[in-house]
Amino acid sequence: MSISVQSNNAVRLVFMGAAGVGKTALIQQLLYERFEPRHQCTVEEVYCLDPEPNALRLHIEIVDTSGSYSFPAMQKLRIQQGDAFALVFSLDDLESFQEVERLREEIHQIKGEVDVPIVVVGNKTDLFPGVKSDAGQLMAVQAAATAELEWDSGYVETSAKQNQKVQDVFEELLRRVNLPCLLSPALERRRASAQPEPRKRQPRRKQQNCILS
């Protein structure tokens, strides 16, 4: 199921999942075409995309949440404000998918809605070159069946490291809020203006978030 974008012409795409599953890596691969192999804990980051002028005058926010959930009030607020959710897990970590199940339940409890736009993302396909291991294959099949058949959610398998199907995640999120084909113009502009790299500015934003929280 999908919903219409809010009347204020802003849509918030919220990325959630356990620590280390690749939420930040997916976002940075999309916006800046880069991959940072070292995991760094995220408190919260908000990225903004403004597509080329059109009738909708759409403003897109991509919210990268913490995997540690040390700030439950912040997590609840982001769920309340979110229009669509990417629930990310690692294909080599069963517990990270169990966290996706927990997060989905929490989203439905807070939103109080039956149909919430959700895309489940199985990241790190690069860990299974060629044919997946039996464990990896079984987990992927079970995750896909659960997301698509039981939850009526989207499901995408990605590799943030190799930039495989990363943009599919964002396109599926927008499709589920009835906004197809609006990502590319904004994405190209975002990439073109990605200097200096945002990591130089991140510590200041994270510090502010910690203080406010």
**CATH number of the domain bearing residue 171:** 3.40.50.300
Question: CA-CA distances (angstroms) from residue 185 to 5, 50, 129, 149, 209?
Answer: 19, 9, 32, 33, 29
Residue 53, preceding bond cis, omega within 30 degrees?
no
How many Cβ atoms sit within 10 Å of the Cβ of residue 2?
13
Determine, yes or no, domain membership for 2. Answer: no
Q: What's this model's pTM, rounded to 2 decimal places?
A: 0.78
pLDDT in tens, 1-34: 334 444 457 889 999 999 999 999 999 998 888 8
Q: How confident is the model at residue 43 (pLDDT cuts 50, 70, 90)?
A: low
Q: How many CB atoms lie within 10 A of CB 148?
A: 13
Q: Mean pLDDT, the chain, as a whole number?
A: 78
| 49 falls within a domain | yes
Q: Which residue type is seen at 160?
A: A
Tokens of 121: 């993302």
pLDDT for the residue 208: 33
Provide the percentage of residues in the chain whose pLDDT is more than 90: 43
User: 50 lies in which domain range?
Assistant: 10-201
Q: With 50 as the cut, is the pLDDT of residue 201 above it? A: no
Examine residue 3 and state whether it is found in any structural domain, yes or no: no
Residue 1 belongs to some domain of the structure? no
- The reply to whether 182 falls in a domain is yes
Residue with tokens 């356990």: 18
184 falls within a domain: yes
Mean per-residue pLDDT, 46-58: 65
Instruction: Assign 119 to helix, strand or coil.
Output: strand
| Count of domains forming the chain | 1
Query: pLDDT, tens digit, for every residue of 101-139?
Result: 999 999 999 998 778 999 999 999 988 765 555 666 788
Collapsing DSSP to helix, strand or coil, 26 comes out as helix
